[in-house]
Structure 1
Amino acid sequence: MKILISNDDGIFAIGLRTLANRLAAAGHAVTVVCPDRERSATGHGLTMHKPLRVDPVAAVFAEGVAAWACSGTPSDCVKLALDAILPTAPDLVLSGINHGANLGTDVLYSGTVSAAMEGVLEGIPSVALSLVGPGAEDFQPAAEFAHQLVLGLGQQPLSLPILLNVNVPSRKVVDRIRGVKIARQGMRRWYDQFEKRTDPRGKTYYWLAGKVVEEGEAELPAEPELVAQKQFPTDVAAIKEGFITLTPLQYNLTAYSGLTRLSSWIPYSAVEKSLAKD
C-alpha cells in the first residue's frame, strides 16, 4: 500500500520513526511529511498568512522511506503532501505514533487527530495512533498493532468517511495488553494552570500547564434508538483496563440527539414567529 504518515511531535520523534520503519519493512511505500518541530495541541489549524517551507530529510528513517519536514501545522503537512508533494493519492493516511494519549475530549485539541482527519476530508481512509503513558518510550507494540491494522484495512477498507482513533497502553500503564476494544469517545477534563513569569526584559508572560482532574463520560442525553451505543465502553475506561482502544471519529459534529429537542424549543419558536411578522 501507499501510505502517507504525519504527526504533531515533529520529524525527529521516535514514535514516528518506529511506525514509518515498521511499515516500510513490511513492504509498504511510505512517505513522511511532518512538522519540522513540536506542534502538539495545534488542533486543525492551517497556515494562511505566511508561506510553507518544506525540506527533504535524509539519514533519519530506514532505506526506502521518503521524508520531508514542513514549517507548518500537522494539517498543513497532510494538505501539502496530498496537493503538492505526492504524485498520486495514498491508499492510507496515518498520524503518529503520538507521544501521549489522545483520549476523550483530547481529540478536540490534538494535532495528531487533526492530521488524520485531513485525510478523511480528502476521502482517504485515515488512522490516528497514540501511545498512552507518562514517559513511554517503547513504541514497538503500537507499531506492530498499526502494521496489523493496515493489513486489515487492506483486506476490508473503511467504507465510511471516518477516521480510527487508536490509543495503545504502554508498559508503564499496564503490565500487559489485554486485547482490543471498540470504544466510544469519553471525557477528560483538565485543570489548566497558567504560571506567570517575567522575561529578561521585565515583561510578563504566561506558561500553560495542566493535569487531568476528571475522566468519564460527557454526552447529550441519548435518544431511544441510540441507547444501544452504551454497550461500548469509553476509550478512557477501556485504556485503564489494559485494552487498545479503537474509536471511530467523524468530521460531522452535528449533535443529532439535539435536533428534535431544538425543533420544539419554545424560545426558538417565538423568535421564528417574531421574524416572520417582520
Structure 2
Amino acid sequence: MTEKPLILVTNDDGISAPGIRTLISIMNTIGEVVVVAPDSPQSGMGHAITLDSTLYAERVYMDDGPQIEYSCSGTPADCVKLAIRELLDRKPDLCVSGINHGSNSSINVIYSGTMSAAIEAGIEGIPAIGFSLLDYTWNAHFETSKTYVKTITEQLLNNGLPNDIVLNVNIPNILKEDIKGIKICRQAKANWVEEFDKRKTPQGKDYYWLSGKFVNLDGGEDTDEWALEQGYVSVVPIQFDLTAHQFIKTLKTWNLHD
C-alpha cells in the first residue's frame, strides 16, 4: 500500500468515551483516520438502524489530533453506513470499532453495537475489527490494550481478511505484564439467564428493570471465554452468514410439499 490506509473509527459508547479516544490515538500512528461515532451511548443496540427519524452528522473537534471527526445522532451501524455513503471521499481500507467498555465475548456479539458496526463494514467489503476491554467502567484503564490493538490491526492490514469475516477481539482487564499473549478462539456457547425486576410507579403502573447473570455452558479450552479467564487476549473470526449449512440436507428431508 503506497499511501497511508484510510481507517474509519467508530464505537457504541459515544464519541467522547475514553475507549474510542484511545483507539483514535492508536490508529493515528497507523493511517489516516476519520471518526464517525454516535453522539451518545448506544450500547446493546445490536444492528439497529434509523428508519423513521432524521439522522444528523456534525463535524466536531474533540482534541488536537490529525483525525477528522463527525458526531452522529444514529446507531453504530448508522455511523458506518453514513460514513461510507456520504462522509468519506473514498472507501476505507479498514474499520475499527471500540475500544468497548465491557465484554463482547461469546453471545454478547449478538447484542453488541460495537460488533454490529464492524459487521456493517464487513458487509460493505471493508476489513473490520471490533475491540473490547473487559471493564465496564467509564474510567477503564485502556493502556494495557494499546500494544494488542496495534499489533492485531497491523497484522490485518498486512494479511487481509476473507470476504464476509470480521474479527472480534476481547482484552482481559488485568495488568499488561499479566497478559499471557493472544489466543485465536471460537465463540463460547454461553448465554444470559435474565430476570426482570418488576416495580410500580407512584401512579400504580408496572415497569421493569432487566437484570440477570452470564452463564458459560462451554467447557472447551479453545473458546474466547476460556482464553480470557486464563489471561489471554481472545481473537474470534466471525461471519455474518447465519445459514446453518450443516442442517440444509436434513431440512430437505422434511415433507414441506403441498
**TM (normalized to structure 2)?**
0.91
Residue of structure 2 equivalent to 1:215: 216
Does 2:179 align with 1:190? no
Superposed, which structure 2 residues align to 1:157-176 within 5 Å?
157-171=160-174, 176=178
Residue of structure 1 equivalent to 2:232: 243
Does 2:95 align with 1:93? yes
Residue of structure 1 equivalent to 2:18: 14
Q: Structure 1 residue 191: deviation in Å?
A: 2.2
String of CA shifts for 1:35-54, please: whole Å, max 9, x gaps: 11111111101100111011
RMSD of aligned residue pairs (Cα, Å): 2.0
Residue of structure 1 equivalent to 2:126: 124
SS at 2:241 equivalent: coil
Does 2:32 align with 1:43? no
Q: Structure 1 residue 74: deviation in Å?
A: 0.5
Tell me if structure 2 keeps the 8 A contact 1:104–1:188. yes
Structure 2: unaligned runs, 5 residues or longer:
none
Q: Structure 1 residue 256: deviation in Å?
A: 1.6
**Residues in 2 aligned to 1:195 and 1:114: alpha-carbon distance in whole angstroms:** 28
SS at 1:195 equivalent: strand
**Residues in 2 aligned to 1:177 and 1:260: alpha-carbon distance in whole angstroms:** 43
Q: Which amino acid aligns with 1:131?
A: L
Structure 1: unaligned runs, 5 residues or longer:
219-229
String of CA shifts for 1:234-255, please: whole Å, max 9, x gaps: 1111111111111011110011
98 and 134 in structure 1: CA distance in 2 versus 1, 3 angstrom threshold: closer
**TM (normalized to structure 1)?**
0.85
Q: Structure 1 residue 152: deviation in Å?
A: 1.3
Residue of structure 1 equivalent to 2:243: 254
Residue of structure 2 equivalent to 1:226: none
SS at 1:104 equivalent: coil
**Residues in 2 aligned to 1:261 and 1:189: alpha-carbon distance in whole angstroms:** 26
Which structure has greater helix proportion?
Answer: 1
**83-92 or 158-167, which moves further after superposition?**
158-167
SS at 1:194 equivalent: strand
Computing the radius of gyration over CA atoms, which structure comes out larger, 1 or 2? 1
